[in-house]
Structure 1
């Protein structure tokens, strides 16, 4: 066996061992669990029902209810009216409260009046007699309890698992006792405390169920614990209690498999003819119908004020809860990040009634182990002999069949079969196979791509990979060309556009300009807002760096013209750009700090390119270039000398040229070129009248007004402030 085949075999064995260890729980792989969770969520959404379930309505304590009825908690005489409205006038079958009433209601002031009657006003018989008459009216808890007693109401409460537990209120009667789980594996959630309803309310109601949440590792709610153990007794969830009363079903029965000696954990609850599958924690998977709004929401204030027609809710389940963010009952779920807890109960109740709760039975562990072993053997033997294309086809086929099979099990049999380990193992085997096959020949290419992939076009990366000796991140000094471009008036453009539209515009513009630069072999150094800096001649030396830079600049202007037409269709502003080009000795390399570095260029020639870009506005030029760029660019490019200048901070004068196309002027390009050259000669010899006459002819010929205006202003200045007798025609800029 060759060394490469031995390495491949060892890698395959490692992948198989890790996969099996994950299945058996010896080594849990977090990313596989996360993929399993994502696949579950995807199946949940694909298999979700459509439309609203009319059997369950949510009486929503929403923002409008709080605005009309006052802040929460409401006085319980108002809740008594709500219960009577739902039960007596609307005729609902069951009312479930996703609310706990753990403290007496003191909003009526009855307690204060009683303290006065027993204290400072004890001697006033009239006060005591009047208080006795008013007490039934002011005892809001009693009024609420009376409403509960005459209505089919299931209250809600919660359990806690803190190390320092507290308890309040009265728990309902438990469903099961420790003796019911004797001899079985009991891994149910164990509570240490609770917050239940006050005794008078609990006694008056038909029952109560807890709404204690259970969260998965990612903080989302996918399950409801139908049973929770507290002090050796087992209590049912609110959803189970409501569904049980709605169905008029007997107390549920515990479902243990016949082979309980093998893994004697609870697997289901038997509710009449319905089987409710649960996991080891007696938690059931929530069968979400869809996003928030899969059930009818009615504002609690509308119910309280009698705005619903009588009998509108006849025979339905009414769940009283809240969607108001301020009441803190919003949870993260696979179908929404701010999902009302009351709708979670609605989904659970509907699933119990319909028998549509998905099951992840204990035997899926053995199923997954067998599938992993069989698939590993099949793929390993095939990949040893297959080439890249058949290997990819095999992995694609395995992925499709695995996913299709698990989706069919979900939709047809309500089974939740594991899929992530199989998919991850398949992809890992293919990845190992591919990496080992390509490792030796790809090593150099990967190194080059890592060094230069973010800077240069793909073609340059390929050339560097083919010739690694050309690649170096070390500092170097060489002749190169640099380009600076900028959008004119971009600040005013950006201030007048919405952020989303501005983002689309600038991304479209930068993509088009970058494509032009890379198409001509340039390296994008950086984006500075709307500005672009690029250079030619590195990392691969190029004798045509100046020519390529000029061709890229001209192409950028042509693309900018096309973009103006495109942007007009979107109603976007027109973009006009100026480009500065400079050629000379520059230092290039990976520069920066210990915190951040960048492959860039610096030097006087770089600074000149930036200054030339700034000057395009004053000259009305599209592409300004230095004398060295013009000399190095070679033949075939039309140039127009514009000026000799001395930029701020430099003593050496620079001749600047514009790279022009045939459409630079609206008249005859050659005539305009000759006229401007003659004007420039007259200007430099201080023949002001001749120069002005030529400027008039240029303007009449359609030459750019900015350039004509600039030289007219200079001539006016020099007439009032004549230059020195030995003036060399150089104009000095006092600002950058």
Structure 2
């Protein structure tokens, strides 16, 4: 003002006269002077990063221990300018805090700011209306942190609050439950005689209710509820409590424990009485459960003014009821699925669906077919079982058998049996499979990969590594539902089955994980094989050539093909009794294996030793390059 007067270059008398009239132009001063001694101003706490205005004095300062509490904490504020704050009787914050669903159910009565506690607008209004000189916040250490339990408004009333010093609002009803007057009419002095009488000696809250002024809230009773009326409900409740009325509804600090106990009791009762009942009885017990949960909650609300969570109780009853109804539905269809369950123990799920659609597609009667059989066994299982506890061994076997069964099913195989760690499976029954040999070999390769992954998991879990031996053979076999009157099984029998078992048993000798007979190899043109040996197994007089499948032809690289060609050439030289040439080729393969890992080094070394022996002691004239295995 002084700067403006100097710039105007007015006479001193005129400037003095304007200074005397300055207060007439200061709108803030005019408004501050209009505030009577019974006016309480509102202000806001927030976390927007900036503060403005003048805060009132806190009613309580927390000590160092009490700083670890559950009070609502705000770092910034927007308060009234000092001129207005100094002319008002008091100030109180008007912060509302919605629940997670956006509904206003409670109002904070206390907020912590920089270690000080400040009272809400409603709390300050009630204190002044009751003429009480002080407020007291009670904080209790629950072992983890301090929680609020109650607020004393002088000696007039004790307000029970939640741990964060908030209060459930006992809403009287929807909007305009309290007398409402237009601010415009008041400023125009356009009130009736009755309205003028009503405002005399009343607590008047000035707030907004227009849509565009952003003070409309959602409460449990309605949306677009004026925020100022929420404070009116709280003030009304505090004043009624001072007159002896029981109006407070609160959620005690032990509410979570009580809710958990109710959940356990209700859940255990329903878990006992619902299973095995008919749908009608399940429905009846469910209705009784819902009635119990709602009735108990309503009783605690009405009789003791306790607000306990209800949603989880309702969800528990509904969830258990629907779960048991679903179980009953599935149990009623169990008989129809018995055939499916029986076949499911033997064949992949896709096979089961085909059998259900066309029961004549397969017969359980005995018949002879050309099939492929697979035997898989864990190498060194006896030593492995001695190193593990019973529980560890069971866990290892279950995980291993589950994986290999999944692989066999994925390749259209049929599980014959499990014998300890041994798995027996076959292809081309009960449904026809023209590619049975190739599917069986691909299954063996996939089992090899899965076992390697599973072995790595076992090692990381502190369990021993796994290695398996797999033998396959193709030939005529008898298949069907065989057994006694007491126990039957869908299985295969025959000389070709026994040969498959013998081939599996010699995998350890050749340090190979998979060996197949020449009958199987001939039917798999899309797979790369490494010739291993010409053998005669125990119990057989005819020699059989065995091969090791390496990969599908499309996955083979030049290095692998070169290795197979070199070893095949060495094997041919060996069988032609050119042991020196065979030795050179084998030594070349061993030298390559020293530079690049090769899991066939043991096989190369085996043949190199044989060549060395035959160079020193040549074989008989009728030697056919057949190695005779005397063990099963």
TM-score (norm 1): 0.42
When Rg is computed on C-alpha atoms for both structures, the one with the higher figure is 2
More relative contact order in 1 or in 2 (CA 8 Å, sep 6+)? 1
With normalisation by structure 2, the TM-score equals 0.49
